[in-house]
Amino acid sequence: MKRAVAALALTTLFAVPFAAHAQFAKVDDAIEYRKSAFFMMGQHFSRVAAVVKGEKPYDKAAVEADVAIIDTLSKLPWQGFTEGSDKGRTKAKPEIWQEHDKFKAGSDKMLAEVSKLSAASKTGDLAAIKVAFGAVGQTCKACHDNYKSK
């Protein structure tokens, strides 16, 4: 499991700088890119949620691995909010582009909270993980409430 996380981290380390400047061939590609990143992040977030809620036993290595993937994935979807990607198969509200600075501030806050969750996951302190996890969840909810159609 650690090798898989390390491989993902190394691949992302080298790929993200190039991807950040990549142009999407079609607007639909940008939409699918961000949706895919959010989907994968949600999958790993759900795994940690089960531990935080006491539905699954705490396994430090598993939580740390899931949080490492969340940390990596949390940096990806933002470049998919390109001009014109407010149209098509998306639940993104127009306010994302109308309030870009506010949207960016929300994404920056989420990234900061994910970083805190990452640090907490490495301590093995489940209480600290729960607090940090809750803070990440609040930033996700705030963005969904303001910028995602139901």
Ranges of each domain in the chain: 2-147
Average of per-residue pLDDT across 49-64? 98
The reported pTM is 0.83
Lowest mean pLDDT among 16-20, 37-41, 86-90: 16-20
How far is C-alpha 32 from the geometric centre of its chain's CA atoms? 15
Average of per-residue pLDDT across 113-125? 98
* pLDDT band (50, 70, 90) for residue 16: very low
Amino acid 23: pLDDT: 78
Answer yes or no: are the C-beta atoms of 44 and 69 closer than 8 Å: yes
Amino acid 20: pLDDT: 43
Q: What span, in angstroms and rounded, lies between the C-alpha atoms of 63 and 122?
A: 9
**Residues in Cβ contact with 82 at an 8 Å cutoff, skipping those fewer than 6 apart:** 24, 27, 30
Is CATH 2.60.120.1440 the classification given to domain 2-147? Answer: no
What is the share, in percent, of the chain residues with pLDDT greater than 70? 85
How far is C-alpha 98 from the geometric centre of its chain's CA atoms? 22
Residue 43 confidence (pLDDT) above 70: yes
Lowest mean pLDDT among 49-53, 86-90, 110-114, 139-143: 86-90
